[in-house]
A and B are shown apart, each in its own frame.
Chain A
Amino acid sequence: MIKVENINKQYAGKLVASNINVAFEKGKVTSIIGPNGAGKSTLLSIMSRLLDKDSGSVYVDGTELEKWATKTLAKRLAVLKQTNNLNMRFTVKELISFGRFPHSQGKLTDTDRQVIQHAIEYLDLQVIQDKYLDNLSGGQKQLAFIAMVMAQDTDYVLLDEPLNNLDIKHSLQIMKNIRRLAHDMNKAVVIVIHDINFASCYSDNIIAMKNGEVAIAGSVQEVIRAPVLESIYDTPFKVVTLDNQNVCVYY
């Protein structure tokens, strides 16, 4: 369980995270939604020690974030941001092997190799495993990074906009795999996502943010309602139920 308590963060005098209290459970996909500048990525970065907070606490498995040795934490919590430098040329397999670094410090054991092979097979990357990342499409690249996080084998997986720049087919593929990670492997998966319908159909819980604050946090049924979303996005919404899923119409 990750617990976030009273987090505050200011950037140049502007509050980007204000008094945030949320929790993330294992076995669940939690989506963080909200308009641009709502503080979604800030929250994710603070939770994963990529960004320092001004005040408040983050507890990972009951221990405060600062008390974790960063090496040990890397075996419990994995985070993927969109800012990875892709000038560097690595093969898919080399990238996935980086995921084992926290466990074996660079010397791959037989177990490591098995885990890497399993991640490759699980995400169907056999054909491209020896290709260089810069020769892949956006979707394949994203899958490779997710395979790396899988190989890292952590209880908590935090992904910042995993669907960025992906087409519908690849977005679906990624979201289905994210759900599998949470439900089959009992991981807590937290994603920052812009597409509300993907969030609605593939998450268990949703946190909606606005102006650095948590507007509402709850199950999909509680959050994906027209009045709630209208107040968050300042846009007229219509929520319809299709095949037991809440789908938003806002065009």
Chain B
Amino acid sequence: MKWLFFSLCLLSLGSLFVGVSQLSVISLIELDSDAWDLLITSRLPRLLAILLAGAGLSIAGLVMQQISQNKFAAPSTSGTIECAMLGYMLSLLLFGNGDALWLIFLTAIIGTLVFVKLIQSIQFKNAIFVPLIGIIFGNIIQSLVTFIAYKFDALQNLSNWSLANFSNILQGDFELLYIAIPCAIITYLYANQISAVGIGKSFATNLGLKYGQIVTIGVILVSMMAATVVMIVGELPFLGLIVPNIIAYYQGDNLKKNLPNTALLGACVVLVCDLISRIIIFPYELPVSMFISIIGGLVFIVLLLKREANDR
């Protein structure tokens, strides 16, 4: 925890001073207005967006894994992201712009609820079926979105959703991501309930909880956090999947205990990947999702193999 927090602070400082335009501590101390301007309109928003997106998406994955009782569930493997895209497309069609937030949240929430109900009604022998079903479900929704976009000549509007990129985030673009903060607080308040639901329906009912109600609250939290991230930043594959699993590997599945560390590690991972993407072909940048995919994919395979070994 302390160690994670310390790394995060260091990385954050580093992130502020990496970029094409020179920004030095000295010019900031000398109150150079250009330097401060750069810091406040570009570097700081970028840093905040990274931290909020990384933490928010990781918490979303953590909650998703508990309410669906599956270690491989995450917003990217449950159709949440694709349903948010569908909401965006519907908003574009019905209102002429993609600003109808409520519609995006609503479709994401409904889609995720449908997925959760679906996997609850089918008993799977192998846990890996759940994310597979989720990915298939997501792909069907995505095909639908692409079809609508093609029909109405809106394919270009979709392209900025797929690849995550922090390079174009300026002051005024990212503030919606702050939604992750109230969502994280609510998650913390409901942590015990969500954990109990994660153990099972009869377990939760025995403790006097209304199972369906807690699942719905969880789904709403997950959908809102995931949908805002994908809208503003783009897809960050594997993040919601691997970060909670790494934390759970070391300290179990107590949601309340894991929440802060999951948020910190999620922010750290995205920050590291973003730094790499900015430095590797400096002064140009690569999309951050490339590095998250590479690192996330590798960690995911390791997790899968570890699980296989445990099952035997």
Interface residues, chain A, with chain B CB atoms under 8 Å away:
45, 48-50, 69-75, 78-81, 83-85, 87-91, 94, 98-99, 101-102, 105-106, 132, 152
Please tell me if the beta carbons of B203 and A84 are within 8 angstroms of each other in the complex: yes
CB contacts (< 8 Å) of B192 on chain A: these are 98, 101, 105-106
Of A48, A74, A87, which is in contact with the most chain B CB atoms at under 10 Å from its CB?
A87
Q: Once the chains are docked, how many angstroms separate the CA of A84 from the CA of B203?
A: 7
Please tell me if the beta carbons of A74 and B66 are within 8 angstroms of each other in the complex: no
Please tell me if the beta carbons of A70 and B254 are within 8 angstroms of each other in the complex: no
B131 contacts A by Cβ under 8 Å: no
B207 contacts A by Cβ under 8 Å: yes
CB contacts (< 8 Å) of A152 on chain B: these are 206-207
| Least distance between A49 CB and chain B CB atoms (Å) | 7
CB contacts (< 8 Å) of B193 on chain A: these are 106
Known: A87-B69, A87-B127, A101-B192. A74 touches B200 (CB 8 A): no
Q: Once the chains are docked, how many angstroms separate the CA of A78 from the CA of B208?
A: 9
Q: Once the chains are docked, how many angstroms separate the CA of A45 from the CA of B201?
A: 12
| Least distance between A146 CB and chain B CB atoms (Å) | 13
Please tell me if the beta carbons of A81 and B202 are within 8 angstroms of each other in the complex: yes
CB contacts (< 8 Å) of B199 on chain A: these are 84-85, 88, 90, 98
CB contacts (< 8 Å) of B69 on chain A: these are 85, 87-88
A–B pairs, 28, beta carbons within 8 Å: A50-B205, A50-B206, A74-B208, A78-B206, A79-B202, A79-B206, A80-B206, A81-B200, A83-B200, A83-B201, A84-B199, A84-B203, A85-B200, A87-B70, A88-B69, A89-B252, A90-B195, A90-B199, A90-B254, A98-B196, A98-B199, A101-B192, A101-B209, A102-B207, A106-B191, A106-B193, A106-B256, A152-B206
CB contacts (< 8 Å) of A106 on chain B: these are 191-193, 256
**Chain B interface secondary structure, helix, strand, loop or mixed?**
helix
Please tell me if the beta carbons of B202 and A83 are within 8 angstroms of each other in the complex: yes
CB contacts (< 8 Å) of B248 on chain A: these are 89
CB contacts (< 8 Å) of A88 on chain B: these are 66, 69, 195, 198-199, 253
Interface size class of B (residues with CB under 8 A): 20 to 34
CB contacts (< 8 Å) of B201 on chain A: these are 50, 83
Contact with A along B251-292 (1 / 0, CB 8 A): 011101000000000000000000000000000000000000
Closest chain B residue to A73, Cβ basis: B208
B117 contacts A by Cβ under 8 Å: no
B46 contacts A by Cβ under 8 Å: no
Q: Once the chains are docked, how many angstroms separate the CA of A75 from the CA of B69?
A: 26
| Least distance between A229 CB and chain B CB atoms (Å) | 30
CB contacts (< 8 Å) of B205 on chain A: these are 49-50, 70
Closest chain A residue to B255, Cβ basis: A88
Q: Once the chains are docked, how many angstroms separate the CA of A79 from the CA of B201?
A: 12
| Least distance between A141 CB and chain B CB atoms (Å) | 12
Please tell me if the beta carbons of A98 and B207 are within 8 angstroms of each other in the complex: yes
Please tell me if the beta carbons of A72 and B208 are within 8 angstroms of each other in the complex: yes
A50, A72, A75, A89: the one within 8 Å of B202 (CB): A50
CB contacts (< 8 Å) of A87 on chain B: these are 69-71, 127
Please tell me if the beta carbons of B196 and A101 are within 8 angstroms of each other in the complex: yes
CB contacts (< 8 Å) of B208 on chain A: these are 69-75, 101-102
Please tell me if the beta carbons of A85 and B202 are within 8 angstroms of each other in the complex: no
CB contacts (< 8 Å) of A98 on chain B: these are 192, 195-196, 199, 203, 207
| Least distance between B77 CB and chain A CB atoms (Å) | 16
Please tell me if the beta carbons of B253 and A90 are within 8 angstroms of each other in the complex: yes
| Least distance between B73 CB and chain A CB atoms (Å) | 11
Q: Once the chains are docked, how many angstroms separate the CA of A99 from the CA of B71?
A: 24
Q: Once the chains are docked, how many angstroms separate the CA of A82 from the CA of B192?
A: 21
Please tell me if the beta carbons of A91 and B206 are within 8 angstroms of each other in the complex: no
Q: Once the chains are docked, how many angstroms separate the CA of A89 from the CA of B251?
A: 9
Please tell me if the beta carbons of A91 and B252 are within 8 angstroms of each other in the complex: yes
Please tell me if the beta carbons of A48 and B206 are within 8 angstroms of each other in the complex: yes
Q: Once the chains are docked, how many angstroms separate the CA of A106 from the CA of B204?
A: 13
Q: Once the chains are docked, how many angstroms separate the CA of A69 from the CA of B253?
A: 29
| Least distance between B104 CB and chain A CB atoms (Å) | 31
